[in-house]
Structure 1
Amino acid sequence: MALDATTPSITTDSVLGGSLTLRQPKAGHRVGHDALLLAAFAPADRRRMVDLGTGVGSCGLAFLTRVPQASSVLVEIAPELADLARENAALNDLSARVEVVTADVTRLCRPSGPDVPQVGAADLVLTNPPFNDTARHRISPDAARARAHMADGTLLEEWVRAADRCLAARGVICLIHRPQALADLLAALDGRFGAVEILPVHPRPDRPAVRLLVRAVKGRRTPPALLPGLILTDADGNPTAAADAVLRQGGGLVQT
């Protein structure tokens, strides 16, 4: 059964300065900056997008809000979250541009994977893969939170392979991850993607990066480039103008 706004365990929240409304579970994994930053980092000239591990649809729907010419397939393994992604598409008048698929991303990297998303049909894949190595972190007792954050040693490569399967030649993958995973990220992309661009995200001017935004082009062999970082707040903890332009005004990050 789909969860609606009257369900006590569901909240209705506005993001991007009120331009996007999302219904999401009150407990467990909730929408944060990561999804909005990832959507902003995606190039605006793409028209056929796939969002792998969409959750309630936050990243994919944020991209569609910014790029009105685009359409998307949103992929989510959890049926209850896929239902919320459909509801959120309708809530934001985006249903005509959205198809939601309940599927395991790791099956998309196999020749026998689902028919949707169609092989080689997308020109953009957005993905926020699970971050944490299960061998190094305590697994959350909340099943949805654990599924969103925990990964084994092969999961990142499988998600990149799934993106590769979805993308046409010269299609773009955009993902967000932790800086500690940089070597694994480059290894997973190697041989499939090139022209890698890496944008560090810093919480404050004097703090190390806490996230890496990464995008790359299928079939390219150009060496990686490190872009100027994004700083979320100033020394007093106030949002920077650059962060505000993305997280409140719905603007895009660096475009090339």
Structure 2
Amino acid sequence: MSLDQTTDFVKHQTVTRDAFLGGRLTLSQPRNGFRAGLDSVLLGAAVPVGTGRLLDLGAGVGTAGLVALSLGRAERADLLERDAATAALARDNVAGNGLEARAKVIEADLTMADARRAAGWADNGYDAVIANPPFFAAGQGTLAPDLTRADARHMEPDALDLWGRCAAASARAGGTAIFIYPAEVLSALLGALDGRFGGLTVLPLSPRPDAPATRILLRGSKGSRAPLTLLASRALHGPEGNGFVPHFDAIFRGEAALDW
């Protein structure tokens, strides 16, 4: 929900202030660039309760990690973002929500280990790692005219493996990784985590009951050898209308988390 407050930002971007979790969290984000939506909120709400140190890979303006903090799912969060302008917004969002003592923005490319370390990232140091990676391979789909939005939606076909590698290098032994991704490319995500995380659990998300899943949440444990579990699909909406079913409505209003 937009609060209709705008400011000028670097690169002449116009920034909106948007309310999440029923107003418990207010975030600045580009009006015309990549904008956080339901996926980011669900990802943050899916963090296991009792998580100590959380890493949000490709954090954007910080939505998923700050949702996890606001819902009390994690004690501290590092927000890893490589785009300087977007990282600046994330820092503003940390400060604007009074979370300076619990959240830190790390401005670095997740594919460059030395740069990550120099910026404050911890090897094998996180209880949970979350990510909402770009989901169009380069050359597929329609490239967004805004470069930050395009960067958030497009990547080379082999880049997803780098996200899996970074997640594995970040999580402590027994730590958790959680990704949200389009259901149609689940196989690619499974491949990126194969051999790095076990006990994989897949939660399909569909728009309506009996409709095919369009998104999946995938959770794994570093070092586990447990088999994969495929959960029943959950629908965001009922058979008719645009309202969310009660459980998801409670999540988006900041009154519940996603337990799965």
| TM category, shorter | over 0.9
Q: Which residue of 1 aligns with 2:35?
A: 30
Is structure 2 residue 205 aligned with structure 1 residue 204?
no
**Displacement of 1:254:** 2.1
Q: Which residue of 2 aligns with 1:44?
A: 49
Q: Per the alignment, do residues 68 and 140 of structure 1 end up closer, same or farther by CA in structure 2, a change over 3 Å counting?
A: closer
Supply the AA of the counterpart residue of 1:214: L
**Displacement of 1:127:** 0.5
CA contact (8 A) 1:178 1:211 kept: yes
**Displacement of 1:228:** 2.4
- Determine which of 5, 16, 30 is the counterpart of 1:11: 16
Determine helix, strand or coil for the equivalent of 2:160.
helix
- Determine which of 108, 121, 125 is the counterpart of 2:129: 125
Q: Which has the higher contact order (CA 8 A, sep 6+)?
A: 1
Q: Which residue of 1 aligns with 2:179?
A: 175
**Displacement of 1:69:** 5.5
TM-score when normalising by structure 2: 0.91
CA contact (8 A) 2:110 2:116 kept: no
Q: Per the alignment, do residues 242 and 68 of structure 1 end up closer, same or farther by CA in structure 2, a change over 3 Å counting?
A: closer
Query: 1:23-79: CA deviations, max 9, x gaps?
Result: 111112111000001111111121100101111100000001112761011011111
Equivalents in 2 of 1:69, 1:204: separation in Å? 30
TM-score when normalising by structure 1: 0.93
Is structure 2 residue 235 aligned with structure 1 residue 231?
yes
Supply the AA of the counterpart residue of 2:153: H
Query: 1:192-247: CA deviations, max 9, x gaps?
Result: 10011111111111321110011100000111111222211112222101211211
Q: Which residue of 2 aligns with 1:245?
A: 250
- Determine which of 94, 97, 103 is the counterpart of 1:92: 97
Equivalents in 2 of 1:166, 1:236: separation in Å? 42
Identity of aligned residues (%): 39
Q: Which residue of 2 aligns with 1:141?
A: 145
Is structure 2 residue 96 aligned with structure 1 residue 77?
no
CA contact (8 A) 1:132 1:151 kept: yes
- Determine which of 114, 117, 130 is the counterpart of 2:116: 114
**Displacement of 1:181:** 1.3
Describe how 1:155-170 pairs up with structure 2 within 5 A: 155-170=159-174
Describe how 1:186-197 pairs up with structure 2 within 5 A: 186-197=190-201
**Displacement of 1:102:** 0.9
Equivalents in 1 of 2:101, 2:82: separation in Å? 22
Q: Per the alignment, do residues 172 and 198 of structure 1 end up closer, same or farther by CA in structure 2, a change over 3 Å counting?
A: same
CA contact (8 A) 2:77 2:102 kept: yes
Determine helix, strand or coil for the equivalent of 2:111.
helix
Q: Per the alignment, do residues 68 and 164 of structure 1 end up closer, same or farther by CA in structure 2, a change over 3 Å counting?
A: closer
Unaligned runs of 5+ residues in structure 2 are: none
Supply the AA of the counterpart residue of 1:6: T
CA contact (8 A) 2:49 2:74 kept: no
